[in-house]
A and B are shown apart, each in its own frame.
Chain A
Amino acid sequence: MTFAGVLLGVAIGIVLLSWVMNLVGRDRLYVGYGVIFVLGTLAAMTVLIVPPLLDAVTRASVALLPVPSLSIVALVIFTFMMVYVFTQITVLSNRVMRLTKELAIRNAQQEGDVERRAAERR
């Protein structure tokens, strides 16, 4: 891979890392998903930066599945789409959590009121 290619790869990695950290920080991406994306991105960046690792991975991947280098672009787009999809799942999941907590608190309150009235009657 050319030096410009490595630089571009690292730049994309940094953008992805910043985006994921920001999403987790704002509670829009579940921390468990965030950890996977961060570790995956760091691993990919390490492979890009260390030439012997890049050679080994390139040789292994070509031997297993010969694909044109353009497929890397598709992989990058797919990764960003995955982050987006998991963000939507997290947002939905957070709404369910909020509802679950709210229902629990309201039901506990009503139950407490009923018991209090029963105790007063006694």
Chain B
Amino acid sequence: MDHIIFEIGTALLLVAIAALLANKFNFSIIPFLIILGMIVGPHAPSIGILDFRFIESAEFISLLGRIGVLFLLFYLGLEFSVGKLIRSGKSIVTSGSIYLLINFTGGLLYGYFAGFPLLEILIIAGIITISSSAIVAKVLVDLRRTGNTETELILGIIMFEDIFLAVYLSVISGLVLGGGTTLGESLMSILIALGYMLTFFIVARKATPLLNRMLKIASDEVFIIVVFAALFFVAGFSETIHVAEAIGALLLGLVFSETDQGERIEHLVIPFRDFFGAIFFFSFGLSIDPTTLLDAVWLALGAVILTIVGNFVAGMIAGRKAGLSHKASANIGLTIVSRGEFSIIVANLGIAGGLMDILSPFSALYVLTLAILGPIMTKESKRIFLLLNRIFKWTTIKPKTR
């Protein structure tokens, strides 16, 4: 009667083919999976036993996608630590602040002048501000730029953005999901979200010895059960007090990262993050009706241009302030311009909160464009720099003397 496993098997098969293709072209899988998701769906044909509409399994796939978000953010929490940020130094904080100031403000103004209400503006600004850690790290490694001077700064800015994302998601999830209609109610939701966050920070600082003892489990089998139970329980509980479940996962990751077992959990989670994350990107594409894409073309295009200019300017200022050359500084903006997983997560929050429908096609088009264009700009950064240098005359290029 039901072929749900077969439907999911079909979906996974398509996901696998898309991932293989992405790998073949040495590209991030994110844009491929979103496009795949948009191609199939309720409007797609059903050929023989192969049903590309995914009607029966739609709910299940979206649940797997939701789990993907949990793992993505749980991992983000596990990865970052306050110690790392302090060690990374002043130039990171300065550059991160410059980046956020320019791009977040730009995002807010863009949403405002495009005529959106407040919540939509906040979501749009979030989508525009946060770079894709996954794509940036992949591109840097692929292009063998890990050794370059500017790479430290790029990764520092990315880390700074991630922290911003954590706080920002908590705040807007309170606003969007709290459903407050008056200013007082909205403030209350924000306070609850921030208070919840603070609780986790205190637990991370004070209860680490206790957690160390609780997590000291030799058996990998029992360990994974305990960790995942904590993850799903905390994430689910957060939802009940109108804090996005993803935030619960992120905060728990943060707490765990302070324990002795942080690294072990990190290793354990990576395959789950990769698998469920992939389904999340597919499921996000599935939720987009391709016929609505046209409505958002201009809005997305404007945001793309704003992002490219904003990131480039911010990278230039941050790089020069940190004492890098013009060429290295240009590389910063041309690298952090890629958008991906985090922009979709922010967009998803808005969609889950029942905000305006245009957010779906807008975020899909925006992320797709910058997930594809971003890495290309990074690769061609030298040529772009030389071109811009002719206009702005930053440095005189010495002819090679060899």
Pairing of A with B: no
